[in-house]
Amino acid sequence: MTASLPPSVPMDNPDDMFEEINPLPRLLMGPGPINADPRVLRAMGSQLLGQFDPQFRKYMKETMALYRRVFETNNTWTFVIDGTARSAIETAMVSLVEPGERVLVASFGRFGQLKTEIARRAGAEVKVIDAEWGTVFSMEQLEAAIREFRPALVATCQGDTSTTMAQPLDGLGEICHRYGALLQVDATATLGGMPLPVDTWQIDCVTGGLQKCLAGPSGCGPITLSDRAAEKIYRRRHIEEGLQAKDYIAGAGRMIASNYFDLAMVMDYWSDLGLNHHTEATSMLYGARECARILVTEGLEKAFARHAIASRAVVAGVEAMGLKVFGDKMHKMPNVTGIYIPDGVNGDRARASMLNDFGIEIGTSFGPLHGRVWRIGAMGYNARKDAVLLTLSALETVLAGEGFKLNRGAGVDAALASYR
């Protein structure tokens, strides 16, 4: 039996498409996206340039230099991928992994499952180790799996927003290299919100996104590659037929299966060779540059502390309301907090009330946590005291309306005391 096409989606009112876009303001306090910093939006409104205009090539080099600071790396190959954070993950996976190579995925949530699917699509022989949702792996567990499977690549998340857990990474790169593996880390949910010293932790490939701790919109994926990873990718270098010189010699490795997500060609595009690949998403590059500039100007340690302070305030507030935080609190991400939906409360109706009555968005979750857990994010531009207090105040009111017994004002008071 074959799958049928999904049903068409008719417009509610076709005349609406002729109206100017003017969305109602929202305070986005879910797991991402969040409200973009106004400075990022202003940068994105700047005049467009051609992709080979000297001004634009200068902005590209500045973006590379800024993201080296964001990633705390000296990696030459540090730039951005045009596409959402998922595009950066897929670009890395399809370019690093040749069909038949072994990939070990350490999965502790939905986005470990995503990396598993991408690796399989790339033709890898994949082994998955799973941590119970709400927990993370010990280094001993990870080393045992690497020693047994002997993968060419180990892939994991630093933070998985589906479970709100953050996997410790210090030491994992050294373990991977000892057994001949590269380490690929998805830091979409954490980049800019918690420490990620790429060189110190010996991580070979890290990908991120703008729409969470970096205070930008979705649509651009920062990436950094160690020399070891870059050399493996460049073995597979193939220049498009229309750009090949007469003396062109292809790389020894197998051609990367995707054209758009071919990192070797993207590296040529970002290099001084400037070989044409795609047309750079000009406005998104402006936004990515501004996200990094704002973070570096603030200072990484100050930004990490701001996210940690907001996290403590959220936890203090929800616990003072009588709610229970989901998962291992010792390994909770600093920018997203999972909260068990209390018995007798309709989780979807409560979220709808937060949105429709207060203009505040919080998240639900996926898979085994769907309908059991809410997720509150305080990150990027929204890792602010006023945003946290407004969200907790609205949640108190909504919970009271659902019949949940709580001491009104206790959550806000506890969060405010945490800030003070």
Q: pLDDT tens digits, residue range 261-314?
A: 999 999 999 999 999 999 999 999 999 999 999 999 999 999 999 999 999 999
Percent of the chain whose pLDDT exceeds 70: 100
| CA 278 to chain CA mean position, Å | 23
Q: How far apart are alpha carbons 78 and 90 in whole angstroms?
A: 16
Q: pLDDT tens digits, residue range 228-259?
A: 999 999 999 999 988 998 888 899 999 999 99
pLDDT given at position 220: 95
Assess whether pLDDT exceeds 90 at residue 401: yes
Around Cβ 371, how many Cβ atoms within 10 Å?
A: 11
Same fold, 26-32+300-419 and 38-296: no
282 phi and psi angles, rounded to 5 deg: -55, -55
pLDDT given at position 11: 80
Q: pLDDT tens digits, residue range 38-96?
A: 999 999 999 999 999 999 999 999 999 999 999 999 999 999 999 999 999 999 999 99
Q: Would you call the peptide bond into 33 cis, given omega within 30 degrees of 0 as the criterion?
A: yes
pLDDT band at 14 (very low <50, low <70, confident <90, very high): confident
| CA 249 to chain CA mean position, Å | 36
Average pLDDT, integer, range 175-204: 98
Buried b (16+ CB within 10 A) or exposed e, 50-63: ebeeeebbebbeeb
Q: pLDDT tens digits, residue range 317-353?
A: 999 999 999 999 999 999 999 999 999 999 999 999 9
Assess whether pLDDT exceeds 80 at residue 1: no
Give the β-pairing of 220-225 and 182-186.
unpaired
Assess whether pLDDT exceeds 90 at residue 12: no
Q: How far apart are alpha carbons 236 and 99 in whole angstroms?
A: 12
Average pLDDT, integer, range 106-131: 97
Longest CA span, the chain: 77
Buried b (16+ CB within 10 A) or exposed e, 125-136: bbbbbebebbbb
pLDDT band at 13 (very low <50, low <70, confident <90, very high): confident
CATH code of 26-32+300-419, in short, is: 3.90.1150.10
pLDDT given at position 360: 98
In the chain, where the domains are located: 26-32+300-419, 38-296
Assess whether pLDDT exceeds 90 at residue 2: no
CB 399, CB 320: distance < 8 Å = no
Compute the mean pLDDT over every residue in the chain, rounded to the nearest whole number: 96
Token reading at 273 = 């060779």
Assess whether pLDDT exceeds 90 at residue 10: no
Q: pLDDT tens digits, residue range 347-387?
A: 999 999 999 999 999 999 888 999 999 999 999 999 999 99
CATH classification (class only), 38-296 = alpha beta
Assess whether pLDDT exceeds 80 at residue 402: yes
pLDDT given at position 331: 97
Can you tell me which residue has the tokens 């950066």?
88
pLDDT given at position 9: 80
pLDDT given at position 179: 98
SS3 content of the chain, % helix, strand, coil (to 5): 40, 15, 45
pLDDT given at position 296: 98
Q: How far apart are alpha carbons 369 and 194 in whole angstroms?
A: 24
